[in-house]
Amino acid sequence: MDHFQYLDGVLHAEGVALPEIALAVGTPFYVYSTATLERHFRLFDDALAGSEHLVCYAVKANSNQAVLKILANLGAGMDVVSGGEYARARAVGVPGERIVFSGVGKTRAEMSQVLAGGIRQINLESEPEMELLNRVASDMGVTVPVSVRVNPDVDAKTHEKISTGKAENKFGIPIGRASEVYAKAAALPGLQVVGIDVHIGSQLTDLAPFGEAFEMVAGLTGQLRAEGHDIRRLDLGGGLGIPYQRSNEVPPLPVEFCELIKRKVGHLGCEIVIEPGRLIAGNAGLMISRVTNLKSGEDRSFLILDSAMNDLVRPSMYSSFHEIVPVVEPVPGVEPEPFDVVGPVCESGDTFAKERLMPPVEQGDLVAFRSAGAYGAVMSSEYNTRPLIPEVLVHEDQFAVIRARPTFDEIINRDIIPAWL
């Protein structure tokens, strides 16, 4: 079910025509579909119905509070990786007992923050972190439920920058040392061992690496139980990929991912936690941009947009692919032409696509970047003093701005010129 479709020749988000939003908020902007967010959350939640579970949305994929609120209203938990994300989740009413705290370098301040505010569990990434958390918890006179993130050394076969489960990656402790590390954790009075955590990467388009990792977690569960640990919760992370190129990518479905979980660890009687981010938000959002200029180079045509790498960094950072389509439906039979689609930022890296075959568009036309709902707005910056672009939420035939475009004054007034100048 695609909630971004051409109706009467114009691309819509649910029941709203995108040019209408462009008129109201200007370009560029992000737009999200409520129905898609809800549908994607339910795909996981329904597939795990019947076993004790909590789907914790990975807040870093898209942390707008309106997005969090939609998911929280459906009963989602949240996976946060910073004190700031924790504050966002709490601000929309998610109780601490539905929040898990992951991340490779939690600070003392973040630990105190979540212990004071309440937390379901903290996923520990190293022994020094374990000792630090024990000190913080002991000083506060509390005991905190923990899992240890194990690194199974499996190849997630995804982009190197978002692969996290290989021995060379900075994440977790080697699974071979788990026995020793769990024994240490159990001896620390501020910690209560409740489970095992694993997350091997993002944008995985094959179930096999998940299967390998989950099997190792199942084996480790038996071993740690035999050693006297009360392993009752398995946090199996996120990472399921989405089809960025709909014509030739068919990643596994959430239901298949969940069936795999049941097959690999279902017999252990543990509560299952999963942390999907991209799959929930990615295809729930578009970035809409206007064509500033068309320019013919020596051997190619450049499509210059009013959006840039600071608004959507994935193509520059991960060489990733986003479908780019005209908002006005191309007439049937029109011949696609190759364009280098670029932004106005002063770097050659500010290129969204090279020699992309697309229907010809003209100056002033609107184009839509598909699959931009995850790791889009959250990774944007104000490089070149370009204001963060607005985020808009659509619900059936209504839309609302959920983050406004700042004015130039708001941006430049954040700088403080010292008195001696």
Ligand X SMILES: *Cc1c(COP(=O)(O)O)cnc(C)c1O
Footprint of ligand X (CB under 6 A):
58, 60-61, 79, 81, 102, 199, 202-203, 237-240, 275-279
By beta-carbon proximity to ligand X, the closer residue of 18 and 181 is: 181
At closest approach, how far in Å is the CB of 324 from ligand X? 22
DSSP letter assigned to residue 321:
-
Q: What is the rounded distance in angstroms from the CA atom of residue 327 to the CA atom of residue 27?
A: 13
- What 3-state class would DSSP assign to 292? strand
Closest CA to 402 of 57, 35, 11, 29: 29
At closest approach, how far in Å is the CB of 39 from ligand X? 16
The residues with which 151 forms a beta bridge, in sequence order, are: 174
Q: Are strands 366-369 and 285-296 parallel, antiparallel or unpaired?
A: antiparallel
360's tokens: 């010809």
By beta-carbon proximity to ligand X, the closer residue of 122 and 231 is: 122
182's tokens: 């769990």
By beta-carbon proximity to ligand X, the closer residue of 153 and 275 is: 275
**At which residue do the structure tokens 């939003």 appear?**
21
By beta-carbon proximity to ligand X, the closer residue of 134 and 203 is: 203
Q: What is the rounded distance in angstroms from the CA atom of residue 49 to the CA atom of residue 44?
A: 9
First to last CA, the chain: 58
At closest approach, how far in Å is the CB of 404 from ligand X? 26
376's tokens: 């889009």
At closest approach, how far in Å is the CB of 99 from ligand X? 13
Whether omega for the bond prior to residue 338 falls within 30 degrees of 0, making it cis, is: no
In this structure, the number of other CB atoms found within 10 A of the CB of residue 354 comes to: 13
Phi, psi dihedral angles at 59 (to 5 degrees): -60, -30
Closest CA to 288 of 25, 7, 2: 25
User: Which string of b and e fits 383-407 if b means at least 16 CB within 10 Å?
Assistant: eeebbbbbbbbbbeeebeebbeebe
Is residue 258 annotated as part of the catalytic site, yes or no?
no
By beta-carbon proximity to ligand X, the closer residue of 110 and 275 is: 275
At closest approach, how far in Å is the CB of 359 from ligand X? 31
At closest approach, how far in Å is the CB of 201 from ligand X? 7
Phi, psi dihedral angles at 287 (to 5 degrees): -110, 130
By beta-carbon proximity to ligand X, the closer residue of 14 and 45 is: 45
Q: Are 265 and 218 in contact (CB under 8 A)?
A: yes
Q: Are strands 285-296 and 4-7 parallel, antiparallel or unpaired?
A: unpaired
By beta-carbon proximity to ligand X, the closer residue of 18 and 260 is: 260
By beta-carbon proximity to ligand X, the closer residue of 81 and 224 is: 81
Q: Are 304 and 293 in contact (CB under 8 A)?
A: yes
Catalytic annotation, pick one of 56, 258, 270, 346: 346
At closest approach, how far in Å is the CB of 31 from ligand X? 20
Cβ within 8 Å of residue 381, ≥6 positions away: 310, 313, 388
At closest approach, how far in Å is the CB of 387 from ligand X? 26
Q: Which residues are designated catalytic? A: 346
